[in-house]
């Protein structure tokens, strides 16, 4: 099943071909001028340029071929050679019925399903989730759901940051903090008690700060890192403890956001593969020694600048950021053999991924082009720098969600819905509203650009917001409940009124929205579609009273349209990671 844009594109393409021109010129887009047309084709302009002919003349020939197309109510030439098309009510009716009958609500599917791995770019052990982690989680989650929905086999991996220098830092800091913990570390004796998240939370920033100033401290941590990685038993025990404590807390945080990983792998899981990887690099003559470290040079002909090499083994003998990432590519090739790996990580790490990708291609762990870094911008404060609270600290994700929840509770109370709902439903609704607000505020932006973190915006429930989308869905649910209570059922759709036409055209546009979101790996196109669908429905809702429809046939049609809208809306919202409540 195809959307109207594609179907019309084929017809227009055939008309071009009949004139001896490339059918590629037949591309049809939604009209920029809804006052003039539903769809347009600009192909005559490009074709004229290529053939050295007059665009209006070509457009006229094309129109001649399409004039008798029964789907078109009108087709005419405008401006320098635009072809404007308006559809008949019958054509829209047919398309709307197709969507209504489609279990996928009009969504497309990929032709060649691939195995895709989504790497969420890892939250780190010992670092509590703050607003900076928001983007990778919700963008990654949305892409995972989108790819899966369109037919790819997708695995999401948290890629936990549980290896490397930060672990050495924590071991040193914990040893200094408490003699009992030091005993575990050095002698592998005794128990680890009272070492919870709060302690890690405090120790890590302290140790990281000190390592920057204090060279001896830094060297101790680097040695500890190397010893951990070479398997010192006490260090391993402490490390497992850190990981367990952090993972439990992170799972809770992610669950609150509706983010689920298929794999909770960490950087440490790639560690056993490092010897093999080093062998592979050596066998290909890629590994060279430089300044005491083992590196891979990854520069290419035509580079505009010299990229630093990938550091494989530090001069201390320990694995680095790039080491585990490269070994992880090998791990994934062996376990899942993905056609595509998407790294949803901060844009600032673009160079790092370029290094890892090039090294992966060189050593043969991945097919050229099969690794993609989907960088996203940072969330900045009003000063344009990464967001900090007024106290200068980071805002914890948990606190952000709670703030939004509190706002949602207030609004529910104001609307007098508190009494009607059970306490559980009330909290459930407040939670869904809060999560929708936060996710939509982020996902409506193109992922690549940085944006200003604005608490008011994140908790605003009016206008182009998540709660607006939920509100429209809930209105439909309420309408459908009422209709059912009165014994009215949905029936065949007939598109007639302007508001119905617009809604049908918007429903049809889901195909293009998903195709584009998929191609660009950019959920904002889904967010945009969800918003347009809400708007179209809201107009329809105001213009076409459903229950008070003059005839049973019309009421059945309107009900079917409402039902279909709800189904498509929930489909798209689900891909954004947003769930709809029954009432609000």
Find the helix packing angle between 134-149 and 510-520, rounded to 10°: 120
Can you list the alpha helix ranges (DSSP code H) found in 382-492? 397-414, 423-443, 455-458, 466-485
Residues of span 45-64 touching RNA by CB under 7 A: 45-46, 48-49
State the Cα angle at 241 between 236 and 247, rounded to 5°.
Answer: 120
Question: Is residue 27 a contact residue for RNA (CB under 7 A)?
Answer: yes
468 belongs to the binding site for RNA (CB under 7 A): yes
Residue 255 interacts with RNA (CB under 7 A)? no
Biggest CA–CA distance in the chain, Å, is: 89
Contact 165, 273 (CB under 8 A): no
Window 279 to 318, contacts with RNA (CB under 7 A): 290-293, 295, 304-305, 308-309, 311, 314-316, 318
Site string for RNA, 334-353 (x = CB under 7 A): -------------xxxxxx-
What is the CB neighbour count within 10 angstroms for residue 216?
Answer: 8
Q: Among residues 376, 440, 471, 518, which is the contact residue for RNA, using CB under 7 A?
A: 471
**Contact (CB, 8 A) for 95 and 172:** no
Instruction: Report the residue number, 260 or 497, with the smaller CB distance to RNA.
Output: 497
Alpha helices in 230-302 (DSSP H): 233-256, 274-283
Residue among 329, 371, 412, 443 that touches RNA (CB under 7 A): 412
Letters for 477-496 (x = contact with RNA by CB under 7 A, - = none) are xxx--x--------------
Window contacting RNA (CB under 7 A); options: 62-70, 189-197, 378-386, 390-398: 378-386
Cα–Cα separations (whole angstroms), residue 143 to 138, 252, 470, 478: 9, 21, 21, 30
* 385 part of the interface to RNA, by CB under 7 A: yes
- Which residues in 81-110 contact RNA (CB under 7 A)? 82, 84
- Return the number of the residue (144 or 222) whose C-beta is nearest RNA: 222
Report the C-alpha gap between 142 and 119 in whole angstroms: 12
Judged by CB under 7 A, the number of residues near RNA is 110
198 binds RNA (CB under 7 A): no
Q: Find the binding residues for RNA in span 499-558 (CB under 7 A).
A: 512, 516, 524-525, 528, 531, 534-535, 538-539, 541-542, 544-548
Q: How far is the CB of 46 from RNA (least distance, A)?
A: 5
Q: 479 vs 495, which CB is nearer to RNA?
A: 479
Query: H or E element: which one contains 161?
Result: none
* Complex with RNA: residue 103 or 384, whichever CB lies closer: 384
Q: Which is nearer to RNA, 164 or 234 (CB)?
A: 164
CB of 398 to RNA, least distance (A): 21
Q: Does residue 39 contact residue 48 with C-beta atoms inside 8 Å?
A: no
> Which CB atom, from 20 or from 103, has the smaller least distance to RNA?
20
Least Cα distance to 118 among 162, 155, 153 occurs for 155
380 vs 453: CA distance, rounded Å:
6
Among 10, 18, 33, 209, binds RNA (CB under 7 A): 33
Nearer to RNA among residue 86 and residue 339 (C-beta) = 86
Nearer to RNA among residue 88 and residue 378 (C-beta): 378
Residue number, 212 or 334, with CB nearest to RNA: 212
Rank residues 26 and 154 by Cβ distance to RNA and give the closer one. Answer: 26
Q: Is residue 498 within the footprint of RNA (CB under 7 A)?
A: no
Which of 4, 154 has the CB closer to RNA?
4
Q: Which of residues 144-173 bind RNA (CB under 7 A)?
A: 161, 163-166
Find the shortest distance in angstroms from Cβ 499 to RNA: 9
User: What span, in angstroms and rounded, lies between the C-alpha atoms of 27 and 18?
Assistant: 15
Binding to RNA by residue 29, rule CB under 7 A?
yes
Cα–Cα–Cα angle for 474, 475, 478, rounded to 5 degrees: 85
Q: Measured from the CB atom, is 175 or 225 closer to RNA?
A: 225
**What is the C-alpha R_g of the chain?**
29
Q: Say if residue 378 is exposed, middle or buried (CB neighbours under 10 Å; 0-12, 13-18, 19+).
A: middle
Residue 225 touching RNA (CB under 7 A): yes
**Of 369, 384, 487, 550, the one binding RNA by CB under 7 A:** 384
Beta strands in 5-132 (DSSP E): 28-30, 39-41, 72-78, 82-87, 115-119
Minimum gap (Å) between residue 262 Cβ and RNA? 21
Number of H helices and E strands in the chain, helices first, is 21, 13
Query: Do 341 and 371 touch, CB atoms closer than 8 A?
Result: yes
**Three-state SS letters, 68-94:** CCCCEEEEEEECCCEEEEEECHHHHHH
Rounded to a whole number of angstroms, the minimum distance from the CB of residue 395 to RNA is 16
Minimum separation from the CB atom of position 513 to RNA (A): 9
320 is an interface residue for RNA by CB under 7 A: yes
Buried b (16+ CB within 10 A) or exposed e, 94-118: bbbbbbbeeebbbbbeeeeeeebbb
Q: How many CB atoms lie within 10 A of CB 7?
A: 17
Question: Which is nearer to RNA, 187 or 553 (by Cβ)?
Answer: 553
Footprint (CB under 7 A) of RNA, residues 420-459: 433, 444-446, 448-452, 454, 457
CB of 51 to RNA, least distance (A): 12
Residue from 128, 234, 338, 467 in contact with RNA (CB under 7 A): 467
């Amino acid at each position: 099943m195809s959307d109207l844009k594609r179907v019309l594109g084929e017809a227009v393409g055939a008309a071009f071909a009949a004139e001896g021109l490339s059918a590629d010129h037949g591309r049809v887009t939604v009209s920029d001028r809804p006052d003039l047309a539903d769809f347009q084709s600009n192909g005559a302009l490009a074709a004229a340029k290529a053939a050295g002919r007059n665009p209006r003349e070509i457009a006229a020939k094309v129109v001649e071929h399409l004039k008798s197309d029964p789907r078109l109510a009108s087709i005419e030439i405008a401006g320098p050679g635009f072809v404007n098309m308006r559809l008949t009510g019958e054509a829209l009716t047919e398309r709307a019925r197709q969507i209504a009958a489609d279990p996928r609500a009009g969504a497309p599917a990929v032709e060649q399903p691939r195995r895709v791995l989504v790497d969420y770019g890892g939250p780190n052990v010992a670092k509590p989730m703050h607003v900076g982690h928001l983007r990778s989680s919700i963008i990654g989650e949305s892409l995972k759901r989108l790819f899966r929905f369109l037919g790819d086999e997708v695995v999401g991996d948290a890629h936990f940051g549980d290896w490397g220098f930060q672990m050495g830092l924590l071991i040193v800091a914990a040893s200094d903090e408490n003699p009992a913990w030091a005993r575990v570390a050095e002698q592998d004796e005794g128990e680890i008690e009272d070492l919870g998240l709060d302690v890690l939370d405090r120790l890590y920033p302290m140790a990281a700060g000190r390592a920057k100033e204090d060279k001896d401290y830094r060297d101790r941590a680097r040695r500890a890192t190397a010893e951990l990685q070479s398997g010192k038993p006490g260090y391993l025990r402490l490390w497992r403890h850190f990981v367990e404590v952090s993972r439990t807390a992170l799972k809770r945080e992610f669950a609150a956001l509706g983010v689920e990983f298929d794999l909770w792998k960490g950087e440490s899981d790639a560690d056993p593969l490092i010897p093999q990887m080093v062998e592979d690099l050596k066998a290909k003559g890629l590994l060279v020694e430089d300044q005491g470290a083992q590196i891979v040079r990854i520069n290419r002909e035509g580079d505009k600048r010299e990229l630093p090499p990938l550091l494989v083994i530090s001069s201390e003998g320990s694995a680095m950021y790039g080491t585990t990432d490269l070994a992880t590519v090998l791990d994934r090739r062996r376990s899942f053999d993905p056609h595509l790996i998407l790294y949803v990580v901060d844009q600032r790490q673009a160079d790092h991924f370029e290094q890892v990708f090039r090294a992966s291609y060189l050593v043969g762990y991945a097919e050229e082009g099969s690794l993609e870094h989907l960088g996203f911008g940072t969330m900045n404060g009003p000063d344009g720098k990464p967001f900090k609270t007024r106290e200068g600290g980071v805002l914890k994700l948990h606190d952000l969600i709670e703030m939004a929840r509190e706002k949602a509770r207030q609004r529910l109370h104001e609307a007098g819905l508190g009494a009607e709902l059970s306490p559980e439903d009330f909290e459930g609704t407040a939670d869904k509203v809060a999560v929708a607000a936060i996710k939509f505020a982020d996902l409506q932006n193109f992922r690549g650009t940085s944006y200003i973190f604005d608490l008011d915006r994140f908790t605003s429930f009016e206008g182009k917001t998540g709660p607006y989308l939920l509100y429209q869905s809930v209105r439909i649910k309420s309408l459908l409940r009422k209709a059912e209570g009165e014994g009215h059922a949905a029936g065949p759709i007939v598109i007639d009124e302007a508001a119905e036409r617009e809604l049908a055209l918007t429903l049809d546009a889901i195909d293009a929205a998903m195709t584009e979101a998929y191609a660009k790996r950019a959920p904002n196109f889904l967010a945009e579609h969800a918003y347009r669908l809400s708007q179209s429905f809201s107009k329809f809702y105001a213009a076409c009273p459903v229950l008070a429809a003059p005839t049973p046939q019309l009421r059945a049609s309107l009900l079917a349209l409402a039902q279909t809208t709800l189904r498509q809306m929930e489909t798209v919202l689900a891909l954004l990671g947003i769930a709809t409540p029954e009432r609000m």
